[in-house]
Structure 1
Amino acid sequence: MNTYVALLRGINVGGNKKVSMAELRELFSNLGFSNVRTYINSGNVLFDGKQVSMKAIEMAIKQRFGFAVPTLVVPVSSLRAVVKATPEMWHNDQLQKVDVLFLWPPYNTKTVLKTMPLVAGVDETLFVAETVVWRVERTKQNKSYMQKGFIGSEVYRHMTARNINTVRKLVSLVGE
């Protein structure tokens, strides 16, 4: 049995695509997963399972809630790799913004960085475990490619983001 995190894209944002975390936990339990728990209201579902089908999860969500929700299932081992590779001084706070971009195939390779014209001296990135970890100082955020050109791009439509604090918390909830 392995532990996974399902990352739901675009739920409970601005009053749209409202999904109850209690109903989401029940849905995952009904799909046969165990030790199901959620973290915050943005669609982070931790669970244990043997065989995991993202398509089956997406279909169950659509059937239950009445709308499609792109869902990426990531092994907790990948989140651990992200946390380990990210410098400890990178955290989401008033001085800096650090997001982890979880990418759907075929964008989940290092070549994705070539499609992101990052601004030297502004954007800092790492590629680890099929994700891009992106850091920018808040005072430079308005100069960042990630703020200007990224939203609406092809890659943007095939990813979901969590800030590094959330990713670290998800790993801590699972433990070693």
Structure 2
Amino acid sequence: MKSKRYVALLRGVNVGRAKRVAMADLRKLAGDLGYDEVRSVLNSGNLVFSGPAKPQDQVASEIEEALVLKLGVAARVLVLDADELAAIVAGNPLLDQAGDHSRLLAFVLSSPHATPQAREALEALCGRDWQPGAVALGERAAYVWCPEGILASAAAAALGKQLGDATTSRNWATLLKLHALCAGPL
């Protein structure tokens, strides 16, 4: 069976005091599910791992279920394959203006096939003037430059409200670390 590299992004884990998960426990959980080469990035609720090629939503469901059963934490999990993450990284049109990668966000969309209505709403947000920040839409992610900080960004707040549970966001520095881990051999 063909092996595939995956990236799991856990929504709302280790943000503030809620949904605390030790990365060692998360890595063990993925290993117990039969995945290998399991690595985490910081204390961020992000994993890179390898395993048999199967639909990402199936992998996400396995991890979500195990999180509740083994760790007592309910969290949505968004799973990408390494190629999807590479496309998100390559498709960021805001890199020229974003000097601080910790203030550049990617809202990863849960599905590459957003409904026309959802895409229209996102395009409307992209068309607004967010100076000094900016918003852009790619195939699988919406990008937000927050030069005055993420918490102060009206654009990030509007995008989060518009997308709700259909997304999880990561700062650019974290995405680049995940991308680097994916680049290693299978």
Aligned pairs, number: 173
Which of the residues 160, 164, 168 maps onto 2:172? 164
Matched, 1:78 2:64: no
Aligned partners of 2:14, 2:74: CA distance in 1, in Å? 13
Aligned partners of 2:51, 2:106: CA distance in 1, in Å? 24
SS class of match (1:115): helix
> Between Structure 1 and Structure 2, which shows a larger proportion of helix residues?
2
Q: Which residue of 2 aligns with 1:11?
A: 13
Which of the residues 119, 127, 133 maps onto 2:137? 127
Q: Which residue of 2 aligns with 1:144?
A: 154
SS class of match (2:108): strand
| 1:91 Cα deviation from its structure 2 partner | 4.3
TM-score, normalised to structure 2, is 0.79
Instruction: In structure 2, list runs of 5 or more residues that go unmatched.
Output: none
- Identity value in percent: 29
- In the alignment, is the contact (CA less than 8 A) between 1:34 and 1:48 conserved in 2? yes
Instruction: In structure 1, list runs of 5 or more residues that go unmatched.
Output: none
SS class of match (1:120): coil
- In the alignment, is the contact (CA less than 8 A) between 2:98 and 2:147 conserved in 1? no
- In the alignment, is the contact (CA less than 8 A) between 1:25 and 1:38 conserved in 2? yes
Supply the RMSD in Å over aligned alpha carbons.
2.8
Distance change in 2, residues 1:57/1:33 (3 Å): same
Q: Deviations along 1:31-85, whole A, 9 cap, x unmatched? A: 0011001001111100001135211211011101113110000111111112112
